[in-house]
Amino acid sequence: MKQFYLSRLIGLICLLVFPLTTFGQTRGSTSSVQQNLRFQEEFNNVNLDPNPNVGGGSRVTFTHEFSSGPQSRSIGSSAAQRILSQAGISIPSAIIDLASGAGDFSCSSINPSFSAEATIKAGGFYQIHSVGTSDIGIDYPVLVSVEFPEANTFACGETIHIKTSYEILESQNPNKLQVSPPFFNQELGPLLDDYSFSTRIGLSATAAIGVSTPLGSVCETIVSFNEGKTFTLLEGSLPSLPPLINFCEDAFGQNSNESRLLNCRWSSVEPILNIGQRFLNDYNRRNGSDLKAATFQGDNQVTISFPDFPEGTPVTLPEIEGVFKNSLASELNFEALNGGRKLKVAGTKSAISRLSYDITSFLDYAGIKTSASLGSGLGSIDAGDVSPTLTIDQEMAFEFDPKVNLVVNLGQAMSFTVYNGDGSISYTSSGNSVQLLAGQYIEAQFPDISTPVPVTGNSFINGDFNSQSSQTVFESTQIRFGEVKVAGVVDFTLIDEETPKVEVDKKKILDHSFNLQGTQILDLPGFLLDPENPVIEVKDVITKDILNIGGGQRQVVYEITLSNEGDVLLSEVQSTFDLSESFQDASNFFVNCISSNGLIVNSEFDGEIDKNLLANGNQIGVGDSFTIEVLVIITPEIASISESGCFETVEYDVFAKATGVSPIGTFVENNFNQCTQEITGPDIINTVDLGAEVIDELSDFSIYGFEQVYFSKNFSESQGSVGSAGDMIFENVSLQGGAPVTIVGDIYVANELILRGESRVVFDYMQLGKEVDSQKKSALLPLGAISRESDCVVSFDQPILEVPDNNSKEKIQLKKGNSLDLAPGTYRSIDMLEGTILNLESGVYNFDSWKISGKNTTINFDVSNGPILIQVRKWLPHADQQYLAGSDGAQSMVSIHYSGNEPVRFKNTFFQGNILAPFASVDFAENSVLEGTLYANKVQFTDGSTFIGPKYLAPLNASPECQPLDEAARKLEEEVQEVATELDRKDEQIRMYPNPTSNILTIDGIHPEILPAQVYIYDSNFRLVKSLIATSTDVQFAMQDLANGLYFIRVGDLGTLHRIIKN
């Protein structure tokens, strides 16, 4: 068995120079995709709290009770008398005089009296009727990242992890959350629970005169008076005051006007503002004026104030002043909580509603008397002003806890669990759609498939939205109540106070959380869940070549192709090739050689004890394939013969197995799916038939006679199958006890096989149409079997040669020693004399006559540009020592079609090519050599001549490592162009003679500077057959131990090849 160091060295060099890519697949390695997502949502008319605190729960009331007990003031008698008089009280004249200071009333007295008292209990109320809607704007940019297993880092059926995360972008951008707070539709009005004001003016007088009596002076009363008058306001029951104003969000906005304001009504009781506006409208119609109760300042503020009528106008309107504001989104302050993972806007709107009103004016407006005269020019009493002011501050806070939702479509149904960021389980389910929040991760059971699964997804935003809003109601009251004026005497107010601004109550109006669901759906970047798909295949098992090497043995060259059909590098690649099972019925087999074009082979492989084709450490990259070549020499069993005399086949089946390991450790073998644990296909079976030669056509023979084939007199060992449509004769081929003659191949004879004299023949298989006619000292020595009287002998009829007409008149004669380069074409005749050389090139030659008259002639075939076809009618190559050969390939690319019937005889001739002479007898005599085929009417090989068929001329179809050549012989397949020294560049002066030679060959002209020189002798297939050492410039070698034929001889490693014929 050949040494394997060369193959191993080549494999090592390949690994060093062309390292295999390992792709870096490691279990647990991940890839990721990222996507900027900008969630921009607009929610309009959102009801932030389905159950706000409205109605009675939101009502805030306040009242102030002011009281002044009876207060007295000094008042003149005259003033009292005048007031009482105008009040219709009859006063005696004496009293009038007394009051006015007229007369002498020394004993008289007069006492005027004045007192006033007042009580009021009044205030107001504020109540929310309903809550308006809100607009919410979200601008939430995030960077979403999805981390998934890197391609080929997990196997089918394994658990995979898909992790998600997100990063807040523009975290401090105040536009992330914008909320326009809802307006609280409200009702404000006055409260009056107690209202009383009275003033009493009295006069007590006695008019008397002085009278003297014995006891002294006494007063005698003339008249007495003691009466008074009480002036009272708001006598009777108090009126029920309607609400002052209903104000709703419809009053704001573009094109707002009184009509929209006044439409803010939610009961049958008409607010005072609406009533007053009707009076204004009527007044405007009558007077052509444009008085209004409301002024609209922009879109978000309304000022309420009844105008004053000109003097003399009989109609009065209540005194009201108010400002109502809408809360804007821009007035809220943005705050990013937790790095922007929670958004908040908050703020306080001071005096969002403010209303001042005079309760007394409402009574006036209702026609209730609030003032009275004490008499013309004498004085008056007036209820005065009771003016509360309501102020409402509003606090607002809105929080949004945005959640980035992900919907991941896994592409295949899987069981999965979604985990929170802390590792706790969120939920478990199955299917191909997974819903989760960014920041959670998926743990899924990948299905039992090895193909990539595309994953897609989308994202939307939602989250809890919390609304908190409260209102604080403040009030302050200014009161001047109970004004009394007596002309020139009294001018005071019973109650003159101002209460400070105080908080009345604080009410939470909104307190609600709900899930705000986004409507915008944004696509996530897709990616592949790509499990490893390690696949190793025995792509093919073929028979590259079969060669009969004699002795009943066959050389069989097997080629196993291993291929990485998956998507990952395969390591620890191994292939088993069990020859002991395949050739268990063979007589013997042994592995002669193993090689590979890229793998390190196992030098210990024998197919029996060690069945591993490869050494350790082999890898095959993705898409790569390598071949392993095994040269096996087999001694097959002998074919059996059927009843009809046909040879049965001798078939042997071989197959190979292959295994490998993926980068993450998955063991794979050919024809087996590691995922599904299913067999994917049968092994590739290669069948070879190592029995008798299969004959289908004439070209399957090396030698064939349409009438007869004749061998005699020292016919030498030849290679190739021989057939005859008639008889076949062996005569004295083993003369005088000589060795048996061997034909490496099979023999087919349609008629009779005749053995004459001493003819012992070794062959493989023989198939005879009849029995053998054999003499005593002759014998058939089959290595296989003989089928006699067979019905299966294949015979061929003489083919018809279509030779074109030759009208050429050109005649060529090569005189002694001359040479000629002859172009393809048609020639009348050509005659070659002694020592002439004819050079033919690729193409077709038509010779009417071709005569070789002189000995030692040479015909060189140059087939470098294609085949040569020679068509000849009359062929007379009868001279001695002919050389008809050419460049490599001449054995198969040169054909001579001889259409004549005159015998052709070669003597001491070396011929390379194929002869077809269906009507002639062709004789290779006197140690002639045929390298090619011969199909003739009669064929003769005599006097030591031999043949080698095309199958045995072609190099074995095997790698250089497994060629039956050594390294030195392979170098001769192409000329070496490099030269190492100046000496090597010198023209070679070597001569070799005689040529042809029967034994002694002389070589002279060897340059002394290269001595000692190695002399290499190669056969026609460049196989090294002999190596000698030349120690002088002139040497002689004996060649009698070499078979007749063509040889190439070279002196030195870089010398010129010389062709020598041994005969």
Summarize pLDDT for 1024-1043 with one digit per residue, the tens: 888 889 889 888 888 888 87
Mean of the pLDDT values across residues 416-428?
97
What pLDDT shows up at residue 363?
Answer: 83
What pLDDT shows up at residue 14?
Answer: 37
Quick check: 146 pLDDT over 90?
yes
Q: Residue 958: which of 602, 631, 539 has the closest Cα?
A: 631
pLDDT band at 78 (very low <50, low <70, confident <90, very high): confident
Whole-angstrom distance, CA of residue 650 vs CA of residue 569:
40
Q: Are 966 and 1044 in contact (CB under 8 A)?
A: no
Q: What is the DSSP letter of 438?
A: B
Q: Which of helix, strand or coil describes residue 216?
A: strand
Quick check: 976 pLDDT over 80?
no
Q: Are 118 and 484 in contact (CB under 8 A)?
A: no
pLDDT band at 102 (very low <50, low <70, confident <90, very high): low
pLDDT band at 882 (very low <50, low <70, confident <90, very high): confident
Quick check: 854 pLDDT over 80?
yes
pLDDT band at 986 (very low <50, low <70, confident <90, very high): very low
Which range is most confident: 9-13, 364-368, 680-684, 1047-1051?
680-684
Q: Tell me what percent of the chain is helix, strand and coil, each rounded to the nearest 5.
A: 10, 55, 35
Quick check: 291 pLDDT over 50?
yes
Q: Are 527 and 146 in contact (CB under 8 A)?
A: yes
Quick check: 21 pLDDT over 90?
no
Residue 1048 in tokens:
């190439």
* Backbone phi, psi, residue 545, to 5°: -165, 150
* Pairwise pLDDT comparison (471 vs 776), residue with the higher score: 471
pLDDT band at 11 (very low <50, low <70, confident <90, very high): very low
Question: Which range has the worst mean pLDDT, 16-25, 275-284, 433-442?
Answer: 16-25
Q: Are 926 and 946 in contact (CB under 8 A)?
A: no
Question: Which range has the worst mean pLDDT, 119-128, 417-426, 641-650, 960-969?
Answer: 960-969
* CA-to-CA separations, 364 to 293, 300, 309, in angstroms, rounded: 18, 32, 14
Cis-peptide into 682, omega within 30 deg: no
Bridge partners (DSSP) of residue 139 are 40
Helix (H) or strand (E) holding 278: helix 272-287
pLDDT band at 528 (very low <50, low <70, confident <90, very high): very high
* Backbone phi, psi, residue 890, to 5°: -60, -30
What pLDDT shows up at residue 106?
Answer: 60
Mean pLDDT, rounded, of the chain: 89
What pLDDT shows up at residue 978?
Answer: 39
What residues contact residue 555 under an 8 Å CB cut-off, 6+ apart? 545, 546, 547, 549, 592, 631, 632, 633, 956
Mean of the pLDDT values across residues 831-841?
94
pLDDT band at 19 (very low <50, low <70, confident <90, very high): very low
Quick check: 760 pLDDT over 60?
yes
113: left (phi over 0), alpha (psi -120 to 50) or beta: beta
| 5-24+532-689 and 967-1062 in the same fold | yes
* Backbone phi, psi, residue 98, to 5°: -60, -40
pLDDT band at 34 (very low <50, low <70, confident <90, very high): very high
pTM: 0.68
Over residues 493-525, the pLDDT tens digits come to 889 999 999 999 999 999 999 999 999 999 999
Mean of the pLDDT values across residues 922-946?
94
Q: Which of helix, strand or coil describes residue 18?
A: coil
Quick check: 695 pLDDT over 80?
yes
Q: Would you identify the CATH topology of the domain 5-24+532-689?
A: Immunoglobulin-like (2.60.40)
The length of the chain, given as a count of residues: 1063
Mean of the pLDDT values across residues 958-986?
52
Q: What is the DSSP letter of 676?
A: T
The CATH number of the domain covering residues in 967-1062: 2.60.40.3080
Report the greatest alpha carbon distance in the chain: 227
* Pairwise pLDDT comparison (21 vs 570), residue with the higher score: 570
Question: Which range has the worst mean pLDDT, 184-193, 354-363, 373-382, 975-984?
Answer: 975-984
Whole-angstrom distance, CA of residue 1055 vs CA of residue 1010:
11
Burial of 1012 (0-12, 13-18, 19+ CB in 10 A): exposed
pLDDT over 70, % of the chain: 92
Mean of the pLDDT values across residues 671-700?
94
Over residues 1001-1019, the pLDDT tens digits come to 889 888 888 888 889 998 7
Domain edges within the chain = 5-24+532-689, 70-124+196-233, 698-787, 811-953, 967-1062
* CA-to-CA separations, 27 to 153, 158, 659, in angstroms, rounded: 5, 11, 21
pLDDT band at 722 (very low <50, low <70, confident <90, very high): very high
Mean of the pLDDT values across residues 293-321?
88
Whole-angstrom distance, CA of residue 968 vs CA of residue 970:
5
Cα angle 34-35-37, degrees, rounded to a multiple of 5: 150
Quick check: 964 pLDDT over 70?
no
Quick check: 360 pLDDT over 90?
no
Residue 29 in tokens:
């390695």
What pLDDT shows up at residue 220?
Answer: 67
What pLDDT shows up at residue 598?
Answer: 94
Residue 707 in tokens:
């009438």
pLDDT band at 4 (very low <50, low <70, confident <90, very high): very low
What pLDDT shows up at residue 802?
Answer: 85
Residue 74 in tokens:
């000094």
Residue 424 in tokens:
């706790």
Residue 832 in tokens:
């070659």
What pLDDT shows up at residue 24?
Answer: 56
Cα angle 991-1046-1010, degrees, rounded to a multiple of 5: 35
Over residues 615-632, the pLDDT tens digits come to 999 999 999 999 999 999
Over residues 217-261, the pLDDT tens digits come to 667 667 788 888 888 886 656 778 899 999 999 999 888 899 999
Mean of the pLDDT values across residues 131-147?
96
Whole-angstrom distance, CA of residue 218 vs CA of residue 598:
164
Whole-angstrom distance, CA of residue 356 vs CA of residue 339:
45
Quick check: 1055 pLDDT over 90?
no
pLDDT over 90, % of the chain: 64
**Placement of tokens 């025995």 in the chain:** 538
Whole-angstrom distance, CA of residue 739 vs CA of residue 759:
9
Q: Are 801 and 918 in contact (CB under 8 A)?
A: yes
Over residues 790-820, the pLDDT tens digits come to 999 999 999 999 888 899 999 999 999 999 9
Over residues 42-55, the pLDDT tens digits come to 999 999 999 999 99
Whole-angstrom distance, CA of residue 998 vs CA of residue 927:
10
Quick check: 310 pLDDT over 80?
yes
Whole-angstrom distance, CA of residue 287 vs CA of residue 769:
148
What pLDDT shows up at residue 532?
Answer: 95
Helix (H) or strand (E) holding 891: helix 890-893
Mean of the pLDDT values across residues 108-135?
90
